[in-house]
Structure 1
Amino acid sequence: MRTTLDNPAGAPQPLGPYSQVARVQLADGGALLYLSGQIADGADITAQSHGVFATLTALLEAHGATLADIINIRTFLTDMDDLPGYAAVRRTYLTGTPPTSTTVSVPRLFRPEALIEVEVVATCPAGRP
């Protein structure tokens, strides 16, 4: 098993010294993709949620995967009253069978203006880059 850490050139770059994607090659030629938590700019939960999913899409596509390949999603919200707004946006991006999911309320995120942070695990079937 081989692990590669990556910050793909076509995706927004990280805000600190960390890798956004850990790609774990599997024996069958497929891979597991672990994506760091993502935040986005925006004035409200809707804008930030759309920004987060745009970044997740870019990171997954750089490794040959799509949002449909997500098997686990973890969401951190600074205000649980924002859950309905986030859920509405999420449904527009995750349209198939929903992945396993955890949503947690946190007092704050590393950037004070961030209302949401989302991290995912996805599969990348054999034969994709």
Structure 2
Amino acid sequence: MSDIRRIGPGPRMSEAVVHNGVVHLAGQIAKGATVTEQTQGVLAEIDRILAEAGTSKARILTTQIWLADIATFGEMNAVWDQWVDRENPPARWTGEAKLATPEYLVEIIVTAAV
């Protein structure tokens, strides 16, 4: 039986869980007035959590991106394209969803190898 390591555990969920050489991040959100600002904040949080798990964006396996309005796809991609490791891009899908509160415009979930 392999160990399970929880990063940032709280009463409802953990920021991430590491198991069998894979880190599973919870959906990350950030404050900001625009999709650009929120995407920048979310990606910074992903970098921080991946580093705490002992990995990096170069080892991301899959990414789920949820936008409150799919019309902001290009705005989010402009930030993503500056951030993503171009030598190691993950499998990725993007969809539109009603997020937890109206102030959230983007939520990103990643799974990465450790």
TM-score where L is the length of structure 1:
0.81
Name the CA distance, whole Å, in 1 between partners of 2:24 and 2:57: 13
* In 1, Cα distance between equivalents of 2:104 and 2:34: 9
Cα offset, 1:95, TM superposition: 2.8
Give the superposed CA RMSD: 1.5
Q: Which 5+ residue runs of structure 2 have no aligned equivalent?
A: none
The structure with the greater share of residues assigned to helix is: 2
TM-score, normalization by structure 2 = 0.91
Structure 1 residue runs without a partner (length 5+): 9-13, 26-30, 125-129
Distance in 2 between residues matched to 1:51 and 1:94, nearest whole Å: 14
- Superposed CA offset, 1:85-114 (max 9, x none): 1111011111323211111111x2112200
> Percentage identity across aligned positions?
29
Q: Give every structure 1 segment of 4 or more consecutive aligned residues whose post-TM-superposition deviation is greater than 4 Å.
A: none
The alignment partner of 2:103 has SS state of: coil
Find out whether 1:100 has 2:91 as its counterpart: yes
Which letter maps to 1:81? A
Aligned length: 112
| CA distance in 2 between partners of 1:37 and 1:123 (Å) | 17
8 Å CA contact 2:57, 2:85 repeated in 1? no
Alignment match, 1:4:
5
